[in-house]
């Protein structure tokens, strides 16, 4: 057991089975991958990494599943369940690469391979590490951890703690929203502590007390604000497309499949890879980023308004509450007097948006 200090949670404990994973080059590389990708070019303090986020998610997952076990011993949650869920939280982002989501969404968009998505790469790397370092994970462990990373609604509550496929209320979101707000210096914080103490598992579903409905909803409102104000910032999009052009000019562009399928090569792909691309085009674009000579951008809800020959990239921007055009509360179960209930949102909430998703096009030129 090892104690480390986290700015969100204070001192947290790391068990040996977590440390065996953490103290490897494959995991340590997450220190060199920023949580918010290119955002630090616009928001200078957004320099926190996938490393601390991964530790935070693992801690939160352990806290949630242990609290549920304590409150409902009849569920027969085992130590193996807790261990696997904590490992799932720890490695859920292990497969991220240069500038996080940018790499998958833009650079690998034309790659026809299962490993184009970071979740698949996370499991791929864990299996590789389990053999290389003799981590001691059994075949059953790996199957269960994969189900925790790729949950289906039918799997039940144990598989909805790291990533909740149904509602989106999960430990991944709880950590990154509070961690991003903390490092960005935003005056937002989501308090989940009371909800945690009152979560109940009913019919294998995570259910929340109905009196905490507004508090549950607040998580998704914060997600919307962050996408609107930070994650989808137009200048970040301009810089992403400049970095995309740098990567397209590199040797890596011709060897995408080779790099994502070879663990030894893949772990070289961190944010600093951009400084190792040695050609005139890449150097010029990178210099322009540093001198703030950025691509221009224009947002429009109607792509027909833009002359096609004048833009270089067209991006589809979606800003929502996490469930597309739907209210996420429609996918969440609550309980009242010990009984699972579905709520009528318009009846229970005074202020209900008329739309839950904004879709627009961003043109980079």
Catalytic residues: 118
Give the angle 96-100-103 at the CA atoms, nearest 5°: 90
Give dist(CA 288, CA 295) in Å, integer.
9
Please, are residues 210 and 84 in contact by the beta-carbon 8 Å criterion? no
CA 244/CA 345 separation, integer angstroms: 42
CB-CB contact of 90 with 60 (8 Å) = no
Q: Which candidate, 55, 54, 76, places its Cα nearest to that of 65? A: 76
If you write DSSP's letter for every residue of 92-107 in order, what string do you get? Answer: TTTT--TTTHHIIIII
Q: Which residues pair with 298 in a beta bridge?
A: 363
* Contact indicator for 289, 239 with CB cutoff of 8 Å: yes
Nearest to 362 by CA among 329, 327, 319: 319
User: Could you give the CA distance from residue 308 to residue 323 in angstroms, rounded to a whole number?
Assistant: 31
How far is it, in rounded angstroms, from Cα 282 to Cα 246?
5
CA pair distance 353, 110, nearest whole angstrom: 36
Quote the longest CA-to-CA distance of the chain.
Answer: 68
Query: What are the structure tokens assigned to 79, written together?
Result: 């130590």
User: Are the C-beta atoms of 282 and 250 separated by less than 8 Å?
Assistant: yes
The CA distance from 50 to 42, in Å, is 19
């Amino acid at each position: 057991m090892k104690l480390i200090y986290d700015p969100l949670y204070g001192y947290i404990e790391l068990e040996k089975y977590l440390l065996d994973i953490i103290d490897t080059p494959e995991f340590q590389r997450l220190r060199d991958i920023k949580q918010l990708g290119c955002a630090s070019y616009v928001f200078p303090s957004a320099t926190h990494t996938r490393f601390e986020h991964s530790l935070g998610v693992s801690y939160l997952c352990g806290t949630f599943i242990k609290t549920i076990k304590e409150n409902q011993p009849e569920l027969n949650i085992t130590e193996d369940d807790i261990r696997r869920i904590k490992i799932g939280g720890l490695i859920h982002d292990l497969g991220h690469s240069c500038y996080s989501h940018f790499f998958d969404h833009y650079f690998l968009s034309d790659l026809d391979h299962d490993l184009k998505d970071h979740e698949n790469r996370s499991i791929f790397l864990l299996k590789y590490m389990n053999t290389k370092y003799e981590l001691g994970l059994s075949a059953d462990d790996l199957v269960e951890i994969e189900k925790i990373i790729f949950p289906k609604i039918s799997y039940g509550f144990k598989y909805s703690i790291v990533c909740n496929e149904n509602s989106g209320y999960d430990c991944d979101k709880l950590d990154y929203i509070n961690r991003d707000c903390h490092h960005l210096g935003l005056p937002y914080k989501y308090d989940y502590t009371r909800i945690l103490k009152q979560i109940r598992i009913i019919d294998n579903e995570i259910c929340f007390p109905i009196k905490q409905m507004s508090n549950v909803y607040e998580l998704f409102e914060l997600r919307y604000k962050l996408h609107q104000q930070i994650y989808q910032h137009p200048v970040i999009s301009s810089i992403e497309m400049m970095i995309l052009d740098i990567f397209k000019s590199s040797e890596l562009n011709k060897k995408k499949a080779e790099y994502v399928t070879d663990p030894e090569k893949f772990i070289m792909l961190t944010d600093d890879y951009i400084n190792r691309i040695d050609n005139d085009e890449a150097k010029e674009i990178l210099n322009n980023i540093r001198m703030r000579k950025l691509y221009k951008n224009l947002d429009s809800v109607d792509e027909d308004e833009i002359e096609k020959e004048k833009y270089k990239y067209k991006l589809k921007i979606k800003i929502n509450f996490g469930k597309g055009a739907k209210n996420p509360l429609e996918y969440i179960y609550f309980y009242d007097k010990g009984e699972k209930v579905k709520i009528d949102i318009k009846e229970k909430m005074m202020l209900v948006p008329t739309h839950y998703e904004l879709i627009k096009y961003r043109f980079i030129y």
